[in-house]
Structure 1
Amino acid sequence: MAEHAMLQLEARPQRGRRAKALRSRTKVRRTRAAVVGATVGLLIDILARHGLQVARSQTEAENLARLVADVIADGPRTQTELVDAVRRTFDLDAIALLRPTETGWQTEQAAGSLPVTRNSCAPSLPNCA
């Protein structure tokens, strides 16, 4: 009987190691699944935002084409009407038509609820200050 009791004592640590190894593998699998899930969620969010940007770009291109077609069909418009039409087409708070001068930019025409107080343009444009 003493031998039988000794065998049981030796067998218990092995079961404990197996259970511990199994718990460890389970934790690794759960962690891996969480990382994969978070990565997939992040990628879906990025793709959804990209899709919204594409849709907005297409809408802006269509609006610009419609604006050009209206200008061609209706004939010449005043600067005020053109600037206001561009502002409404692109849903802007304010817009200004600028002309380069020796010292910077001069506002030719402006439209919108907010006054244009700062000249900003693409760095690739000449006289951009």
Structure 2
Amino acid sequence: MSVAAISRPSPAPGRRLTVTCGAWAGPSARHVTVFADGEIDAANAKEFAVAVCDAVAGAERVTLDLSGLEFIAIDGVAALHAINAHLTRAGVPWCVLPGPAASRVLGICDREHVIPLLQPAPSARRGETVLRLVQSN
């Protein structure tokens, strides 16, 4: 696994966003996970979408972990739709691990469930992401 900072948009007063990326190269697929922490708003939503799309170039599968976000504005949902369009055109399956802030906004702004959500296991506590791997026989 490799982890690297992708982009640090110019900080606005009181706002911060950190985007990092981890890539797992397995025998059958290159799975890229992008982690976002902080806040996504009108000032950095476009940079967020560009950073994610750049980070997942060449990926065969993508997970976008938004569980560390403290705030996401409607502009962040527009960024997620841009990421969705980019990955759909590329034929790359992807999902979002939303967290409380993103779940709240997506529940209001994505009524058609266009953004593919991955739900954490019920035992997850704030700040602790628990995912369960399910394999078919």
Higher normalized helix content (fraction of residues): 1
TM over 0.5: no
Which of the pair is proportionally richer in strand?
2
Q: TM-score range by the shorter chain?
A: under 0.3
TM norm structure 1: 0.26
Higher RCO (C-alpha under 8 Å, 6+ residues apart)? 2
Larger CA Rg, structure 1 vs 2: 1
